[in-house]
Copies of this chain bind each other. A is one copy, B any other.
């Protein structure tokens, strides 16, 4: 047991090291020889698959259809939308040789696929009858990042990217918000993560978008993680790529477009929201193993048999495994704590005569002895309680990490002494934003989604009239 635990750096000692220890020791990933690319191991892959399956169901309800776009983008295609290429060209990987011959035109590995979708849309859209198109793809993209941390920031990113086109700006904007809301519910109900919804500032929005909506999450260390985004693209791409349609009035007009994405970054989000010094805590609804059955049997075949029967019963309703290996119970306990399995089911000699077993929660470490005959209900209830507790605990912690500053002095004090989000009023000026960033290393995370009262009438930084409130934080 000690052997396993000593591998994890305590959170308070070094949060970054704690994180990388966990992703490695819980067998989510293995480092590959390629900078910024990791092997996602079966346990990590299964978590991602559970996430994708859940989102797929939500997407289907909104009429989303999956497609598969090419991996490679010719340089000339990437260059068609001016803001987009400026945002992405500096960070892409270029293929310059195919087989043994140099290519006449460089191809980049997609950093995102707007231009590919646009090129397709421009060929298939004629009339308003062809709209909307509500497409999504699950794939990986490549961005040549300087630094890298598994799931958080990496050269290769596994994600989903949605791309839709509509006949009116209103329909497109509504769809952008529908997706934002879908993501928010997913974070709350499935990942048990409370979120801050908002709009990005001009500086921080997606290259080529009119508006970028974002989901921001506060991690245990007080740093902030941009965890999903939904963009209203207006007609920026449609004009660059000539995606026109004949509208209901028989006039030609460009389509109105959205794009939105969520990546394996959400794995980082729940690790840094729920994890502790014993390891991972996986939210029950995406846990590859919801219940681990551990017979404390020392070769007592009766105990093993009862444990196997429980396994068979539970398999009908839950994702469950048994560990009958010859490791010690202590080793097993810390192993599955490390992997964040929500419930451990122990069954020992005392239980056999009583018809009971012990359920141990990963989140609170509470143990309860229950009757085997009622085991399905007990586990169902416990999983729901764990789900709720994870969310409520995170929500409570978040509250203590959100601050308000009415003037410059308070802001700088908070920026230096507190980790979390600081809300202020501001003037909406990009230059003002850049100065704050240079002085504090904080960035604007978002302005609140709902219209709200200004914290102060003037921008605390430049003294100009304030136009909205904004959240500042140290971003991952």
Contacts and interface: CB of A to CB of B under 8 A. Distances in A.
B39 A68 contact: yes
A93 B71 CA distance: 12
A29 to B, nearest CB: 9
Interface in A412-457: none
A370 interface: no
Interface in A49-106: 49, 65-74, 77, 90-100, 106
Contacts of A30: 120, 123-124
A72 B37 contact: yes
Nearest to A72: B34
A91 B99 CA distance: 4
A144 B70 contact: no
Interface stretch (A40-48, A351-359, A459-467): A40-48
A116 interface: yes
A250 interface: no
Contacts of A292: none
B90 A99 contact: yes
A199 to B, nearest CB: 29
A119 interface: yes
Contacts of A49: 66
B93 A67 contact: no
Contacts of A99: 90-92, 144
Given A98-B144, A99-B91, A119-B33, A156 B71 contact: yes
A32 interface: yes
A158 B98 CA distance: 19
Interface string A8-37: 000000000000000000000010111001
A71 B69 CA distance: 16
Contact of A33 (B74, B90, B100): B74
Nearest to A288: B65
Given A32-B119, A42-B135, A77-B33, A68 B48 contact: yes
A291 interface: no
Interface string A129-163: 00000010001101010000000000110100000
A185 interface: no
A107 interface: yes
A211 interface: no
A295 B68 CA distance: 32
Contacts of A77: 33
B39 A69 contact: yes
Interface string A363-388: 00000000000000000000000000
A406 interface: no
Contact of A46 (B66, B69, B91): B66
Given A100-B90, A123-B30, A41 B70 contact: no
A109 interface: yes
Residue of A30, A34, A70, A97 with most partner-chain B CB within 10 A: A70
A38 interface: yes
Given A30-B124, A95-B109, A68 B90 contact: no
Given A40-B68, A42-B135, A116-B39, A94 B97 contact: yes
B65 A34 contact: no
A67 B45 contact: yes
Contacts of A116: 32, 39
Interface of A: 30, 32-34, 37-42, 44-46, 48-49, 65-74, 77, 90-100, 106-107, 109, 116, 119-120, 123-124, 135, 139-140, 142, 144, 155-156, 158
24 contacts: A33-B74, A33-B119, A34-B107, A37-B71, A37-B72, A39-B67, A39-B70, A40-B68, A42-B66, A42-B67, A46-B66, A49-B66, A71-B109, A71-B156, A72-B156, A90-B99, A91-B99, A92-B99, A93-B98, A93-B107, A96-B96, A98-B144, A109-B109, A139-B140
